[in-house]
Structures are given as structure tokens and as C-alpha cells.
Amino acid sequence: MSNSQFTFKQFCIKQEHCAMKVGTDGCLLGAWADFSESKKVLDIGSGSGLIAIMAAQRCKANIIGIEIDSDATLQAKENAKLSPWSNRIDIINCDIKDYITEEKFDTIVSNPPFFSDSLKCSQKERNLARHDDSLACNELMECAARLLTEDGKFSVVIPNDLLQKWCDEALYKGLSATRITYVHTLPHKPAKRVLIEFSKKSCLKAKTNELILEDTPGKYSADTINLLRDFYLKL
């Protein structure tokens, strides 16, 4: 498996022109998000097209990926075209804040940039993908609320220490957390990431559970295998 390409069971992700490579966060979100009733899916910050393509494998919806970086957009278009679901995936190069459409989506997903105070690197494209200067939490929530259907679901993956901030911002934009999975790398480790689903429907208490990625270092847990077995070659 080279750094320029990641091979899944039914598709391949080329990523030499993408600042952010295939990682656990994106794979988890693509496998965890609820696409069971999806007809129109929007992937915000599509990057290499990974989550859009995973969504296409899991449902029969038409999928639009929005990506601000032009090089990543071209790569995502190539990956989508080479996938078995190319006729249902469209990748658009633009800033989601400038994306104007009458269309509403019943499912929106995003593996967003979330670093705000950490040291930036010298690569502009990587900063766009990792830091929230170009798409802050409140801006993403506003876009999701604007583009989501009344019964739709908006799912993200973020660091656990940002959970309260994102839930508070969601409420301000008229969205409620309905499902939360706390992701632990190992049983004795605190949750490093959270997978969150938001909805416009009022929810007093979100359904919560935990996902332990590995029982011991290098040994995937049964829950991880069940979640990712349709995608990872080694599962």
C-alpha cells in the first residue's frame, strides 16, 4: 500500500495530489453514517472522494462532493470515475459557503478541518484540509442547516474535546445531536474522536455508545471488523 494509493475491496483511492491522505477518521465516518434512507447525499470537504465513494457503495443515492482545493477535486473526480458507482457521484470545486442550490439533501457528511490554535505547516493545501480558518464550526453548521432536509441527518467526526462546542453550535443553528459514538483506540485509552449525527428534529438526549478500535495493539476489535469489513482488504 503506497502513500499515493489506498486499495479497498471494491474501489481504489489515488491520493498523490491530496493534502489529506486516507485515514481512520474518514473511513470510520464513511462506514458509520446512516445512509439507509438516503436519496441525495452531500459530502462537504470531499478531499480524495473517499467518503462520497463509501456512501455510494452503501446506498443508491445520488452523491455530490464539495471540495475547495482544485488539485484534490481533480483527484476525487478521477477516483469517482474509476469506481463502480461513477454515474451517481459528482465532485464540485468550490467553497461550501459559496455553494448555492435549491436542492436539499437528506444526508450530509463531513470530515471537517478542526484545528484552530495548533501550529500550521508550510503547505497551503494541508492547512486548508486541517485548520478551521476556511471553514469554522459555526460556518459548517450554518451550511448544513441550510442544505439539510427537515428529516435529514448531518454526520461528522471530530476530536472528543470539541464535542461540547460542536453540540452547542449545532443547537444555535437549529440542529440537535441525535447519535454519538465515542471512539477509543484501545480499551484503557480515553476517547480520542467522536462520531456525531445531527438532525433538525429536537432531541433531548442523544443515543450514545462506544467503539474500541483495537483490543490490543495491532488487533482490531470485533466491532471495528464489523464496521469496516466491507471496505478493508485485510478484514
Residue 160: count of CB within 10 angstroms of its CB:
15
Q: Which pTM value belongs to this model?
A: 0.91
| All domains in the chain, ordered by first residue | 5-228 (3.40.50.150)
Per-residue HEC secondary structure of 76-139 comes to: HHHHHHHCCCHHHEEEEECCHHHCCCCCCEEEEEECCCCECCCCCCCCHHHHHHHECCCCCHHH
Q: What is the pLDDT of residue 10?
A: 98
Per residue in 101-142, pLDDT tens?
999 999 999 999 864 444 444 554 444 444 345 579 999 999
- The span from the CA of 149 to the CA of 138, in Å, is 19
Percentage of the chain with pLDDT > 70?
A: 90
CA distances from 45 to 27, 67, 92, 137, 207 (A): 14, 5, 10, 13, 26
Q: What is the pLDDT of residue 203?
A: 87
Q: What is the mean pLDDT of residues 30-56?
A: 97
